[in-house]
C-alpha cells in the first residue's frame, strides 16, 4: 500500500509541474496622480515589548497638538512626485524605487492655526496604499515641531498620509 501512495503522490507532483514556466509579473511603478490632496503629519506610536508586555508611547516633548493636516498639490517633476502646500516652504519629494517611495521632507507650513516645521531635510519612505481616500502613507525619519500661537511640541517619530480631496 505505501508503494501505491508514493506512486499517486509522484503523479500528482508531476502533473503540477507540467506546462510552460510563467514569467514574473511586469514591473508596475507606484502611481500617484497629480492633483489636490491633504497631507497629514502626526507622531507615530512607538511600541516596545518588556517582560511580555507591549508598551506604546509617543516620543514627543511639549504641550501643543501633535497632528496637522494641510491642503497640498501633488505634481510630477522628472522622476519625483513633489508635494507642496498652497503656502509655506514644506516640500515632500518622493521617488518610486519599484516597491515603495523614498525621498525627503523639509520646510514649514501653517494651516488652521497650527504650524509644522522640519528644520533640515529628513529621509522619508512610504508606499501607495491603494484604492479609497488614502493615496499614500509613510514615515518621517526625524523630528517635526508642531506649534500654535500658545504652545510648542517636538516629536521624534512621525508619519505622513496623503488623502485625495
What global pTM score does this model have?
Answer: 0.73
Q: How many CB atoms lie within 10 A of CB 93?
A: 18
What is the separation of C-alpha 45 from the centre of its chain, rounded to a whole number of angstroms?
14
pLDDT tens for the chain, 165 residues long, are 455 444 444 444 444 445 454 554 444 455 678 999 999 999 887 766 777 776 666 788 888 767 899 999 999 999 999 999 988 999 999 998 767 889 999 999 999 999 999 999 999 988 877 656 778 889 998 999 999 888 999 998 899 999 988
CA distance 158 to 138: 9
Q: pLDDT, tens digit, for every residue of 147-164?
A: 988 899 999 889 999 998
CA distance 65 to 151: 8
Boundaries of every domain in the chain: 35-164
Asked if 137 and 158 touch (Cβ cutoff 8 Å), the reply is no
Asked if 101 and 126 touch (Cβ cutoff 8 Å), the reply is yes
Q: pLDDT, tens digit, for every residue of 6-35?
A: 444 444 444 444 545 455 444 445 567 899
Amino acid at each position: 500500500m505505501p508503494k501505491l501512495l508514493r506512486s499517486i503522490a509522484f503523479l500528482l507532483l508531476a502533473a503540477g509541474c507540467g506546462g510552460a514556466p510563467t514569467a514574473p509579473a511586469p514591473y508596475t511603478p507606484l502611481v500617484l496622480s497629480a492633483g489636490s490632496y491633504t497631507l497629514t503629519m502626526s507622531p507615530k506610536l512607538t511600541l516596545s515589548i518588556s517582560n511580555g508586555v507591549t508598551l506604546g508611547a509617543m516620543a514627543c516633548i511639549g504641550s501643543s497638538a501633535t497632528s496637522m493636516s494641510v491642503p497640498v498639490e501633488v505634481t510630477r517633476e522628472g522622476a519625483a512626485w513633489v508635494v507642496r502646500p498652497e503656502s509655506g516652504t514644506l516640500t515632500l519629494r518622493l521617488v518610486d524605487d519599484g516597491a515603495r517611495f523614498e525621498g525627503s521632507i523639509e520646510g514649514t507650513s501653517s494651516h488652521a492655526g497650527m504650524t509644522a516645521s522640519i528644520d533640515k531635510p529628513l529621509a522619508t519612505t512610504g508606499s501607495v496604499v491603494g484604492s479609497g481616500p488614502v493615496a499614500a502613507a509613510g514615515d518621517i525619519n526625524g523630528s517635526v515641531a508642531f506649534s500654535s500661537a500658545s504652545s510648542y511640541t517636538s516629536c521624534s517619530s512621525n508619519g505622513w498620509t496623503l488623502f485625495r480631496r
